[in-house]
Amino acid sequence: MSLQNFLSRLDQLQSDAESAFSGASNSESLEEARVVFLGAKNGQFKDVQKMLGGIEPTDKRAAGMRLNEVKNAINEAFNAAKEALEGGGGSQVDPTFDPSLPGTRPTLGHIHPITQTIDHLTEIMGRMGFEVAEGPEVEDPWHNFVALNIPEDHPARDPLDNFYLATAGVAGGDPLAATGEGEALLRSQTSTVQIRVMQSCQPPIRVISLGRVYRPDAPDATHFPMFHQMEGLLVDRHVTMANLKTVLRVFANNYLGDDVEIRFRPSFFPFTEPSVEVDFLWNGTWIEFGGAGMVDPNVFEAVGYDPEKVRGFAFGLGVERLCMRRHGITDIRDLYSGDLRFLQQF
């Protein structure tokens, strides 16, 4: 066979194969066309390939190169037709697609209301010069009680009012070894952070700490075994109760609104003297949202400060109750229910 006839046969084969593949209306007809042209036993390409043996030796190089080009072209035409039928053709447009119809809006997550509240409180206190400090949630009795002037016979140290742990060691070492205290517990207040801050820093100090605390309270509308507190501490030379009341009033007005009514009631805490409870009026009822007072001299002595030279105030506010008051939530358990119908409102 002459080279010219062989090349003409290849051109005709390529044209017929491309037409058959592009004209296939479904996967079955496309597969039938593939067998006709590319079948391993009786395919037309196989028949033409056998003709290569009858080409003059001097023309076989050119004939072989053209044979490979046609084979590649037919395979590409088949793959393109297959992709188009499977819906992946880049130039194919679904005739049923209507770009004017609204799409399906994806469900997006958002920040939990407690985290939103913590961020907001941090921003408000930051404007008054308070920096954020952090501390461990697994504490030792010295930081949780002793340094805070809470004696051993105080009800706050009762095992039934705390989550004591069965282990005294944690990863990275034993944090209780240096204190001589052989127990560990989940902290019952963020006041432990102010002790750690005063141990590592000298006055003036102006810090807040926001985090989880744990108490074995029976869950109800206003109590939960795990909740969040914002602890505040200011230590300097001429700090008075008036400074404390001013900070808390400015905070309450910024977070709860200018119309909020708050009051200070005399109270007692082992780590402050004098001490007050801070309440806000909600739905006709006074609700406690924190305790505060001037830092007790015994606390200053526990961390190595001279109570004759420095004074300070501390306060602890319930984050959940502030969040509930701001958003009109009446049951603290809703915040931890995991119910998306509730959480998506924020």
DSSP H/E element including 254 = helix 241-256
Structure tokens belonging to residue 254: 């910024």
Cα(290)–Cα(222) distance, rounded to whole angstroms? 13
List the binding residues for Mg(2+). 273
Cα(56)–Cα(47) distance, rounded to whole angstroms? 18
DSSP of 281-339: EETTEEEEEEEEEEEPHHHHHHTT--TTT-EEEEEEEEHHHHHHHHHT---GGGGGS--
DSSP of 218-251: PP-SS--SEEEEEEEEEEESS--HHHHHHHHHHH
- Amino acid identity of residue 64, one-letter, is G
Asked if the peptide bond before residue 99 counts as cis, ω within 30 degrees of 0, the response is: no
List the binding residues. 273
